[in-house]
Amino acid sequence: MEIALIGIGKIAIDQHVPAIQNSPDWNLSATVSRHGTVAGVPAFHDFAQMLEERPDIRVVSLCLPPVPRFDYAAAAIRAGRHVMLEKPPGATLSECHALKAMAQAHRVSLYATWHSRQADKVLAAKAWLAEKALQKLTINWREDVRQWHPGQDWVFEAGGLGVFDPGINALSILTEILPEPVHLTGAQLHFPANREAPIAAECSFHHPRGAEVSMNLDWLEPGAPTWTIQAETDQGIMILENGGDKLTIDGEIDESVSDLTGEYPRLYAQMASLVQRGGIDMDLSPMRHVADAFTLGKRITVEPFEW
What is the arithmetic mean of pLDDT over 9-28? Answer: 95
Give the whole-angstrom CA distance, residue 1 versus residue 226.
37
* 259 compared with 257, residue with greater pLDDT: 257
Four-CA torsion 180, 116, 297, 213, nearest 10 degrees: 40
Statement: residue 276 has pLDDT above 70: yes
CATH of 117-260+290-302 among 3.30.499.10, 3.40.50.300, 3.30.360.10, 3.30.70.930: 3.30.360.10
C-alpha distance across the termini of the chain, in Å:
41
Mean pLDDT of 154-182: 97
d(CA 244, CA 257): 13
The pLDDT value given to residue 66:
92
Q: How is the beta sheet containing 43-44 ordered, strand by strand?
A: 43-44, 27-32, 2-6, 59-62, 82-85, 110-112, 280-281
pLDDT at 259: 66
pLDDT band at 260 (very low <50, low <70, confident <90, very high): low
Q: Which pLDDT score is estimated for 81?
A: 98
pLDDT tens-digit map of 223-249? 999 999 999 999 999 999 999 999 999
Task: For strands 200-206 and 27-32, give the pairing.
Answer: unpaired
CATH hierarchy code of domain 2-112: 3.40.50.720
Percent over 70 (pLDDT), the chain? 99
- In the chain, where the domains are located: 2-112, 117-260+290-302
Ramachandran quadrant class, 259 (left: phi over 0; alpha: psi -120 to 50; beta: rest): alpha
Q: What residues are annotated to the active site?
A: 87
- The confidence score (pLDDT) of residue 257 equals 75
Task: Please state which of the ranges 88-97, 148-157, 218-227, 255-264 shows the lowest mean pLDDT.
Answer: 255-264
Please say if the pLDDT value at position 143 is more than 70: yes
For the chain, percent of residues with pLDDT exceeding 90: 96
The pTM for the full model equals 0.95
CB-CB contact of 9 with 148 (8 Å): no
The per-residue pLDDT for 306 is 97
pLDDT of 256:
83
Residue 285 · residue 182 · CB < 8 Å: no
Return mean pLDDT, the chain.
Answer: 96
Residue positions counted in the chain: 307
